[in-house]
Chains A and B, each alone.
Chain A
Amino acid sequence: MMTSSESVTSVVNIGELVTASQQCKNGKGWVIYPYPDAPSVKLVSAIQFTYDELVGAYNQTRVDYIVPMPMNTARLQEYVRTYDVDLELSGVARENGHVLGLAMLGVRPGHTWVTRLGVLPVKRRRGTGQLLMECLIEQSRNLGVGYVTLDVIKHNDPALKLFLKLGFRDVRELLIVRRPPGPPTLNVGPYTVHPFDCHEAIELLHQRRSVPSWLDERESLVNAGNLAALRVELPTGAWGWLVYQETPFQLARLVLQAETGDPHRVGLALIHALHTLHPALDTKSENLPLDSPYWPTLQELGYIESFRRIEMRLDFA
Chain B
Amino acid sequence: MKTILLIEDNVDNAKIAMRSLKPHSYRLLHAPDGESGLVMAMEERPDLILLDLGLPDVEGQTLAALIRGSAEIGRVPLVAVTAWPPETAAQMARAYGCDGYISKPISPRQFPAQIAAYFAEGNDDDVE
What residues of B have a CB within 8 angstroms of the CB of A293 in the complex? none
Determine if A75 and B57 form an interchain contact, defined as CB atoms under 8 angstroms apart: yes
With known contacts A178-B61, A306-B88, A69–B95 Cβ distance under 8 A:
no
What residues of B have a CB within 8 angstroms of the CB of A166 in the complex? none
Name the residue of chain A whose CB is nearest to the CB of B54: A68
Q: Count residues of chain A with CB under 8 A from any CB of chain B.
A: 25
Determine if A250 and B56 form an interchain contact, defined as CB atoms under 8 angstroms apart: no
Determine if A75 and B56 form an interchain contact, defined as CB atoms under 8 angstroms apart: yes
What residues of B have a CB within 8 angstroms of the CB of A284 in the complex? 59, 61-62
Of all A-B residue pairs in the complex, the 7 with the closest CB atoms, nearest first, are: A72-B56, A70-B56, A282-B65, A282-B62, A68-B54, A181-B65, A180-B95
> Is B83 in the interface zone, CB < 8 Å from A?
yes
Instruction: List A55-97 residues whose CB lies under 8 Å from chain B.
Output: 55, 59, 63, 65-72, 74-75
Q: List 15 A-B contacts (CB under 8 A).
A: A66-B84, A68-B54, A70-B9, A72-B33, A72-B56, A74-B57, A178-B61, A178-B92, A180-B65, A250-B59, A282-B61, A282-B62, A305-B88, A306-B92, A307-B88
CA distance A137 to B56 in the complex (A): 28
Determine if B62 and A304 form an interchain contact, defined as CB atoms under 8 angstroms apart: no
CA distance A306 to B87 in the complex (A): 11
> Is B106 in the interface zone, CB < 8 Å from A?
no
Nearest CB in chain B: distance from A185 CB, A? 14
Instruction: List B69-107 residues whose CB lies under 8 Å from chain A.
Output: 69, 83-85, 88, 91-92, 95-97
> Is B58 in the interface zone, CB < 8 Å from A?
yes
CA distance A282 to B69 in the complex (A): 11
- Given B57, B83, B84, which contacts A72 in the complex, CB threshold below 8 Å? B57
Q: Could you give, for residues 1-15 of chain B, a 1 whenever the CB lies within 8 Å of some chain A CB and a 0 otherwise?
A: 000000001101000
Determine if A249 and B66 form an interchain contact, defined as CB atoms under 8 angstroms apart: yes
Interface residues of A (CB under 8 A from B): 55, 59, 63, 65-72, 74-75, 178, 180-181, 249-250, 280, 282, 284, 304-307
Instruction: A284-B59, A304-B91 given; name 18 further pairs at CB < 8 Å.
Output: A59-B9, A66-B84, A67-B83, A68-B54, A68-B83, A70-B54, A70-B55, A71-B56, A72-B57, A75-B57, A178-B61, A249-B58, A249-B66, A282-B62, A282-B65, A284-B61, A284-B62, A306-B92
Determine if A180 and B58 form an interchain contact, defined as CB atoms under 8 angstroms apart: no
Nearest CB in chain A: distance from B39 CB, A? 14
Nearest CB in chain A: distance from B58 CB, A? 7
CA distance A305 to B83 in the complex (A): 16
Identify which of B54, B57, B62, B91 gathers the most chain A CB atoms within 10 Å of its CB.
B62
Instruction: List B31-59 residues whose CB lies under 8 Å from chain A.
Output: 33, 54-59
Determine if B62 and A250 form an interchain contact, defined as CB atoms under 8 angstroms apart: yes
Determine if B95 and A304 form an interchain contact, defined as CB atoms under 8 angstroms apart: yes
CA distance A250 to B69 in the complex (A): 13
Determine if B83 and A180 form an interchain contact, defined as CB atoms under 8 angstroms apart: no
Determine if A181 and B69 form an interchain contact, defined as CB atoms under 8 angstroms apart: yes
CA distance A280 to B61 in the complex (A): 13
CA distance A197 to B50 in the complex (A): 39
With known contacts A72-B56, A282-B61, A178–B95 Cβ distance under 8 A:
yes
